[in-house]
């Protein structure tokens, strides 16, 4: 049996680079960049007008000129015009390029049009040289990095890449992953159920969680049959980068998973973690590099193991380790066994900005029903029995803010 910390260390020492692939930019949403996005030209590419008004020379305002003659009108996207006299201006729209010899934009709110004469009168006010211009190259110079490698590709990254002319993005490949649940007591949908059987759901739960993180895994279910389990593991070792198993890893007579794994040459790196839930977690590696996460079959256990071990490994493998999150315990809690306890909590942020994790039903029961009302696991350290309200601990969120 290893500690949570040791288990984490052993797993994190085995982060892997699964290579890269090229995707159309819009389809790269939710993935990780495998190469930086570079500005193809200055950003903005010209001195960009940031609101509608007139472009003029600031010196004219300083010199006391208040009447400006419209030399031309210029929309966004048009080649910039110019002015030739100090009392001229260009009527100009948001997004347009600054005309030659002008350096300042006065918004329409601060001027008044003299009807039919093509003249604007400047109101009294305080104007600043260069106001309302987004200067060329201020955000980035051509050739500079716009988005760093390994960044998560959210909507702003999609927009930045498209505006830099990138129709494709190089993204990190995720490992080819198979999720397998085992157990004779678990039946698929549409099959008649005896009073002592239950519906198969763990593999779908884990696979849908992976899907939320951008990884499309395959799923399968196997009976408690050592021959079938061994054959399927052999097959998956050839076809996949990662195998996630649920169930069949305890000490029972029908727990064939560890045996079948070792028979197929998967070397155990640890078996059992000093934690609750999720104690009989088996982790191993094949000589080919394939990693096997064999989680216990209890739904809360395998869900915890996915969030506490697999996802941090996945994100670290993608070059973007998970940022730690901490929360204060909502009220006093006691846990006696010498195991690291993962408490299911509901997360809330109070008006001071403090994250509070409150046990979902108060009794700290790790039942599956509680999971439905929870947002995160709160990790209580080993070697203590009492945990006080307002102490802060690391949490592993599994629901988003919105």
What part of residues 257-296 is at the interface with a copy of itself (CB under 8 A)? none
Instruction: Return the number of the residue (65 or 162) whose C-beta is nearest a copy of itself.
Output: 162
Give the one residue of 79, 84, 124, 128 binding a copy of itself; rule: CB under 8 A. Answer: 79
User: What does the DSSP 8-state code read for residue 117?
Assistant: T
Is residue 54 a contact point for a copy of itself (CB under 8 A)?
Answer: no
How far apart (Å, rounded) are the C-alpha atoms in residues 348 and 359? 11
User: Segment 115-144, which members bind a copy of itself (CB under 8 A)?
Assistant: 134, 138-140
Least Cα distance to 320 among 213, 247, 227, 239 occurs for 213
Give the one residue of 18, 58, 152, 335 binding a copy of itself; rule: CB under 8 A. Answer: 152
**Residue 12 C-beta: closest distance to a copy of itself, Å:** 15
Least Cα distance to 273 among 322, 338, 327 occurs for 338
Q: How far is CA 122 from CA 52, 62, 100, 132, in A?
A: 15, 12, 20, 16
Give the one residue of 34, 96, 180, 236 binding a copy of itself; rule: CB under 8 A. Answer: 96
User: Segment 193-252, which members bind a copy of itself (CB under 8 A)?
Assistant: 193-202, 204-206, 208-209, 211-213, 224, 250-252
User: Segment 286-345, which members bind a copy of itself (CB under 8 A)?
Assistant: 297-299, 303, 311, 315, 322-328
Q: Which two tokens stand for residue 213?
A: 């993180």
**Residue 289 C-beta: closest distance to a copy of itself, Å:** 24
| x-or-dash string of contact with a copy of itself, 354-383, rule CB under 8 A | xxx----------xxx-xx-----------
How far apart (Å, rounded) are the C-alpha atoms in residues 320 and 87? 56
**Residue 261 C-beta: closest distance to a copy of itself, Å:** 18
Rg, C-alpha atoms of the chain: 31
Instruction: Return the number of the residue (59 or 208) whose C-beta is nearest a copy of itself.
Output: 208
Is residue 253 a contact point for a copy of itself (CB under 8 A)?
Answer: yes
Piece in contact with a copy of itself (CB under 8 A), picked from 3-11, 88-96, 172-180, 230-238:
88-96
Please say whether the beta carbons of 180 and 240 come within 8 A. no
Q: How far is CA 354 from CA 101, 103, 272, 298, 376, in A?
A: 53, 47, 34, 32, 15
**Residue 113 C-beta: closest distance to a copy of itself, Å:** 12
Q: How far is CA 184 from CA 78, 121, 375, in A?
A: 71, 85, 31
Is residue 26 a contact point for a copy of itself (CB under 8 A)?
Answer: yes
Q: How many CB atoms lie within 10 A of CB 188?
A: 9
Instruction: Return the number of the residue (237 or 299) whose C-beta is nearest a copy of itself.
Output: 299
**Residue 91 C-beta: closest distance to a copy of itself, Å:** 7
- Show the DSSP H helices in 13-166 as ranges: 58-62, 155-163
How far apart (Å, rounded) are the C-alpha atoms in residues 348 and 164? 39
Q: How many CB atoms lie within 10 A of CB 308?
A: 23
**Residue 63 C-beta: closest distance to a copy of itself, Å:** 27
Instruction: Return the number of the residue (85 or 199) whose C-beta is nearest a copy of itself.
Output: 199
Instruction: Return the number of the residue (196 or 238) whose C-beta is nearest a copy of itself.
Output: 196
């Amino acid at each position: 049996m290893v500690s949570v910390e040791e288990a984490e260390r052993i797993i994190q020492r085995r982060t892997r680079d699964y290579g890269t692939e090229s995707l159309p930019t819009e389809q790269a949403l939710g993935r990780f960049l495998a190469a930086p996005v570079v500005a193809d030209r200055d950003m903005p590419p010209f001195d960009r007008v940031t609101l509608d008004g007139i472009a003029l020379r600031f010196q004219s305002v300083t010199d006391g000129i208040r009447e400006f003659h419209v030399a031309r009108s210029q929309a966004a996207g048009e080649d910039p015009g110019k002015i030739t006299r100090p009392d001229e201006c260009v009527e100009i729209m948001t997004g347009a390029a600054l005309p030659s010899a002008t350096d300042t934009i006065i918004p329409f709110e601060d001027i008044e049009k003299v009807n039919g004469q093509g003249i604007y009168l400047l109101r009294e006010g305080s104007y600043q040289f260069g106001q309302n211009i987004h200067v060329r190259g201020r955000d980035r110079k051509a050739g500079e990095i716009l988005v760093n490698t390994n960044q998560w590709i959210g909507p702003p990254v999609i927009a930045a890449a498209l505006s830099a002319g990138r129709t494709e993005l190089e993204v990190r490949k995720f490992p080819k992953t198979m999720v397998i649940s085992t157990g004779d007591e678990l039946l698929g949908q549409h099959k008649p159920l005896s009073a002592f059987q239950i519906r198969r759901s763990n593999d779908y739960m884990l696979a849908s969680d992976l899907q939320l993180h951008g990884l499309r895994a395959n799923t399968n279910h196997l009976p408690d049959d050592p021959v079938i389990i061994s054959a399927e593991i052999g097959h998956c070792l050839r076809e996949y980068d990662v195998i996630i198993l649920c169930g069949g890893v305890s000490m029972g007579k029908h727990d064939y998973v560890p045996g079948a794994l070792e028979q197929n040459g998967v070397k155990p790196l640890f078996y059992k973690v000093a934690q609750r839930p999720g104690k009989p977690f088996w982790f191993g590696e094949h000589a080919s590099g394939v990693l096997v996460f064999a989680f216990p079959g209890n739904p809360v256990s395998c869900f915890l193991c996915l969030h506490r071990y697999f996802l941090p490994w996945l994100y670290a493998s993608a070059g973007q380790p998970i940022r730690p999150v901490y929360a204060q315990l909502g009220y006093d809690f006691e846990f006696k066994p010498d195991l690291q306890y993962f408490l299911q909590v509901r997360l809330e942020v109070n008006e001071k900005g403090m994250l509070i994790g409150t046990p979902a039903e108060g009794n700290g029961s790790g039942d599956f029903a509680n999971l439905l009302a929870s947002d995160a696991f709160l990790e209580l350290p080993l070697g203590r029995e009492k945990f006080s309200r307002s102490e802060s601990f690391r949490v592993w969120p599994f629901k988003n803010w919105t």
